[in-house]
Amino acid sequence: MTAAQVAHHRASTVEFRNVTKRYEAGAKDTPGAVNDLSLEVPAGRICVLVGPSGCGKTTSLKMVNRLIEPTSGQILIDGQDAADRDVIELRRGIGYVIQQVGLFPHQTIGENVVTVPRLLGWSRARQQERAEELLALVGLEPATYRDRYPSQLSGGERQRVGVARALAADPPIMLMDEPFGAVDPIVRERLQNEFLRLQEELAKTILFVTHDIDEAIKMGDLVAVMQTGGILAQFAEPAEILASPASEFVARFVGADRGLKRMSLSRVSDLELRRPITAKVGDVCSDARRRALADSFAYLLLVDEANRPVGWIGEDEIPTEGRLTESMGESMSPLMDRRTTLKDALSMLLDADVQAGIVVDRTGAVIGLVTADMIADWMRMTAVEPDFDSSEAPHPERTEVVEA
Amino acid sequence: MIRGDWIASNVPALIDATFDHVILTVVAVGVGLALSFALSILIYRRRSLSGAIIGVAGVLYTIPSLALFAFLVPFTGLSFLSAQIGLVSYTLLILIRNILAGFEGVPDDVVEAADGMGYGRARRFVSVELPLALPLIVAGIRIATVTTIGLVMVAAVIGQGGLGQVMVRGFNFRNDTAVYTGAVLIVALAIVADVALATAGRLVTPWSRARSR
C-alpha cells in the first residue's frame, strides 16, 4: 500500500472555545467536569489530553463527537460549531477508538473495520477492498484475519483492528480514549510506534486521552495537562512542558524524572555525531593503526565492503603488519539509527563493552558515533530551570497524583 | 403390556394428536415470544415498569397449571383459547427474563463504540444489540418450548391436550399402550424440538462458536 492510496491529508482544526461541562452535585458515576476549556488543535497534529482521573479529559473528548453535550461553550470543527451539525453525520466523520476497543463480537474482523463505510452505504465491493487495505495498513495480514471473529484475536490485535475501524472512512479527525491502555507494556510500545509511523503518512487531527504522562509526551505534538475540576493547567509542546512546567501541579504531574523524559523526546538526529575512525576488512594494518593512534578515541571500527560495522579493535591490538581480517573485530557496541531516542541510546550504552553507539542508516552503513558524554553535554545545553522549586522538598499540601 | 396392533391401527389418530400438540406449542411459544419481546422493550425503555411486569409474570408462573386451566373454563370454555391463555402465561416469565438478560449482557463498550461511530438508535438495536442478545433469547425459547410441550399434556383436562388426550384416554380405558405411546411421543417431541432449536441457534450465531485458538 502506498501512502497516496491512504492519505489525502484530510484533517480539520478542532477548537474548544470556553467549553464547560457541569454535573449536578450528588449525581452518581458522572465523568469529570470541565471548566472553561479553551484550546485549539491545528489540523494534522496530535493533541494529548492528560491528567489524573476525574480531570475531565475523557469528558472533553466525548464532547467533540457529542456523546456528551457541553453545558456551555462551543467546539468548532474547521470553524463550524459541532452543535449545529447533525449528530449522526458528525460522528460518522470522526474516527473513535476506545480503551476496551468495543469491536462487534458478532461480526468478522473484515466486517468490523468497515462499519462506518457500511453505515455510509458504500458498495459491497468497495467495502471489501477497503477492509483489505485497512488490515494491511495496521499490519494484520488480510487473508488471515478478515474472516476471524474478535474473540479469536489477542488484545494487541484487537486494538489494531480498533484503529483500522476508526480510519475506515478516512475521517479528518480521530478521537482516541486511552487506545493502548488495555495491552501490556511491550505491545503498547509497539502499537504506539506503529501508530506514530502511520500518522506520519495520514496526518489526521488527533485528540488522544491518556493518564500516562510518558505516553502523552511520546505521542503528542501538543500536550494539554488537565487537573481535577476540569481545569487546563498547561497547553504546550511536550518539550516545553518538560523544560518549563507552568505550575507546581504540572511539575509534580510530570514527575521528578523530567530530565529522563526529555531524553525520550530527543533523538540521535538532534546530536552532532562523532566521526569514527574506520577501516575496511582487507586494509593494510600499519596504515589503520597509525590513523587510530592519531585519534583520541581508543578504538578502531572495522567495517565491511558496504561500510557496515563488523566490530571494534582496540588501537593497541592492531597488528603492525599484514592486513585486517574480519575476526579481529571482536567486541561490538549497540547499533542505533537517527530516530533512536537519547534515552534508549543512553540505556544501550550503559550496557555495552565499548561505550560508543554506532549510528547506521537504512542500509546498515555507519554514519557516526554517539557517546554518553555527548548525551550529557546536550542535556546540559538544552535545560531550562523552572522558576520555582518543584520536586526537591515535599510540599506540605502535596497531593498524590492518582493514576487511574 | 404394549400392544403393537393397537399402535398400528391408531397411526392416523396418533399423527393427528402429535400435530395438535405441535400446533398448541408453536402458537403458545410464538405468542409468548411476541408478548415477552414487547414487554421487554417496554422495561428496557422504562426501568420502573420492570418490577410490575416481572412480578405479574412471576405470579402467573406460580399458579398450578391444572388449577389455571380449570379456572379459565367458566370464562373461555373448553376451547383452544383457554389452552393458549394458560400456555402463554407460563412462557412469559422465562422469556422476559432471558430477553432482558440478553440485552443487559451487551457490553457497554460495544454500545459506546456503536454510538460513537454514528449508529442511530433503531439501527443500533437491530444490528448490534439484538444479534448480541440472541444467544440468551434462543436459550429462553428452548426452555419455554420444552416446558410448553410438557404443559400441553395438562391441557388435556380441558380437551385440548394433543398427545395428552391420548394418554388421558389410555388412563380411562386402562390402555397401557396408549399411555406409554403418548408419553414416549411427548418426550421425543421435546427432545427433537430442543435439538432443532439449539441447532438453529448455533446457525444464527456463528460467532459464539468461534473461540480463541
Question: What interface predicted TM-score (ipTM) does this complex get?
Answer: 0.84
- Burial-class residue A339 by CB neighbours within 10 Å (0-12, 13-18, 19+): exposed
Q: Is B174 exposed, middle or buried (0-12, 13-18, 19+ CB in 10 A)?
A: exposed
Joined grid coordinates for residue A3: 501512502
The mean pLDDT value of chain B amounts to 92
Looking at residue A388, what is its pLDDT? 53
Rounded to 5 degrees, what angle do the CA atoms A340, A221, A43 make? 135
CB-based contact A103 B113, cutoff 8 Å: yes
Residues of B in contact with A67 (CB under 8 A): 112, 115-116
For the record, the C-alpha cell of B41 comes out as 422493550
Q: What is the pLDDT of residues A154-209, one digit of tens each?
A: 999 999 999 999 999 999 999 999 999 888 899 899 999 999 999 999 999 999 99
3-state secondary structure of A209: strand
Residue type, B5: D
Instruction: Give me the sheet containing A335-336, strands edge to edge.
Output: A335-336, A356-360, A366-371
Inter-chain residue contact A67 with B117, CB threshold 8 Å: no
Asked: is A270-381 a CATH 3.10.580.10 domain? The reply is yes
- A152 touching chain B per CB within 8 A: yes
Domain ranges for chain A, please list them: 7-265, 270-381
Integer Cα distance of A98 and B207 in angstroms: 22
The answer, for A59 touching chain B at a CB cutoff of 8 Å, is no
In this predicted structure, the answer to whether residue A282 has a pLDDT above a threshold of 70 is yes
Tell me which chain B residue has its CA closest to the CA of residue A154.
B212
Residue A144 near chain B (CB below 8 Å)? no
Distances in whole angstroms, Cα of residue B111 to Cα of each of A96, A134, A336, A361, B213: 13, 23, 44, 47, 26
Write the CATH number of the domain with boundaries A7-265: 3.40.50.300
Best residue in B115, B117, B205 for a mutation probing chain A (most A CBs within 10 Å):
B117
- Name the β-bridge partners of A360: A366
d(CA A75, nearest CA chain B) in Å:
17
Q: Which residues of chain B neighbour A119 with C-beta distances below 8 Å?
A: 117-119, 123
Q: Greatest CA separation found in chain A?
A: 86
Chain A residues whose beta carbon lies within 8 Å of the beta carbon of residue B111: 102
CB spacing of A91 vs B110 below 8 angstroms:
no
CA distance A1 to chain B (A): 25
Contact list in A for residue B212 (CB cut-off 8 A) is: 151-152
Residue A201 phi/psi, 5-degree rounding, is -85, -40
Q: Is B121 on the interface with A (CB under 8 A)?
A: no
- Would you call A298 an interface residue with chain B, using a CB distance cutoff of 8 Å? no
State how far the Cα of A85 lies from the Cα of A157, in Å rounded to an integer. Answer: 34
Q: Which residue of B has its CA nearest to A86?
A: B118
- CA separation (Å) from B40 to A97, A116, B97, B123? 31, 29, 8, 18
- Please give the C-alpha separations between residue B162 and each of A117, A302, A340, B26, B154, in angstroms, as whole numbers: 52, 95, 80, 12, 10
Is the distance from CB of A379 to CB of A263 less than 8 angstroms?
Answer: yes
Chain B positions touching A170 (Cβ under 8 A) are none
Say if B126 is an interface residue toward chain A (CB within 8 Å).
no
- How far does the CA of residue A165 sit from the closest CA of chain B (Å)? 9
Interaxial angle between packed helices B80-104 and B11-45, expressed in degrees from 0 to 180 and rounded to the nearest 10: 50
Triad B195, B196, B197: Cα angle to 5°? 90
**In this structure, are residues A292 and A301 in contact, taking their beta carbons and an 8 Å threshold?**
no
Element (H, E) at A291: helix A285-294
For the segment A238-267, the average pLDDT, to the nearest whole number, is 87
Residue with cell 480514549: A177
Whether the CB of B117 is below 8 Å from some CB of chain A: the reply is yes
pLDDT in tens, A47-84: 999 999 989 999 999 999 999 999 999 999 999 999 99
CA distance A148 to A152: 6
For residue A384, the model assigns a pLDDT of 64
Q: Is the pLDDT of residue A397 over 60?
A: no
- Give dist(CA A195, CA A381) in Å, integer: 31
Q: Confirm if A50 and A212 have CB atoms less than 8 A apart.
A: yes
- Whether B68 shows a pLDDT value over 70: the answer reads yes
Give the minimum alpha-carbon distance from A179 to chain B in angstroms, rounded to a whole number. 12
Q: What are the cell numbers at B211? A: 473461540
Identify the bridge partners of residue A309 per DSSP, sorted by sequence position.
Answer: A303
Cell 440478553 sits on residue: B102
**What is the interface size between A and B, counted as CB pairs within 8 Å?**
71
C-beta atoms of A115 and B213 within 8 A: no
Out of A18-22, B72-76, B208-212, which region has the weakest mean confidence (pLDDT)?
B208-212
pLDDT at res. B211: 61
* Cα distance between residue A8 and residue A291, in whole Å: 52
**According to the model, what pLDDT value does residue A14 have?**
97
Residues in A closer than 8 angstroms to B112, CB to CB, are 67, 98, 102
Rounded mean pLDDT, A21-32: 80
Q: For all residues of chain A together, what is the average pLDDT? A: 88
Instruction: Give the per-residue pLDDT at A400.
Output: 44
Amino acid at residue number A53? S
Beta-carbon separation of A151 and B113 below 8 A: no
Output the furthest CA–CA distance in chain B (Å, rounded).
Answer: 69
B207 contact residues in A (CB cutoff 8 A): 105-107, 149, 151
CA distance A163 to chain B (A): 12
Question: At A80, is the secondary structure helix, strand, or coil?
Answer: strand
Per DSSP, the three-state class of A395 is: coil
pLDDT digits (tens, 9 = 90+) for A100-114: 999 999 999 999 999
Q: What is the mean pLDDT of residues A122-151?
A: 95
Distance CA B2, CA A384 (A): 101
User: Which are the contacts of B130, defined by CB distance < 8 A and separation ≥ 6?
Assistant: none
Provide the residue type at B133 as one letter.
A
Task: Tell me whether B66 touches chain A (CB under 8 Å).
Answer: no
**Cβ contacts (< 8 Å) between B120 and chain A: which residues?**
88
Extents of the domains making up chain B: 4-206
Q: Residue A37: pLDDT above 90?
A: yes
Percent of chain A with pLDDT over 90: 59
- The residue type of B21 is H
Other CB atoms within 10 A of residue B208 CB: 17
CATH number corresponding to B4-206: 1.10.3720.10
Give which of A90, A104, A165, A175 to mutate to test B binding, by max B Cβ within 10 Å.
A104
Q: Name residues whose C-beta falls within 8 Å of residue A215's C-beta, 6 or more positions apart in sequence.
A: A48, A50, A180, A188, A192
pLDDT at A122 over 70: yes
The whole-angstrom distance between B108's CA and the closest CA on chain A is 8
Q: Does A121 touch chain B (CB under 8 A)?
A: no
Instruction: State whether residue A231 sits within 8 Å of chain B by CB.
Output: no
| Contact flag B210-A175 (C-beta cutoff 8 Å) | no
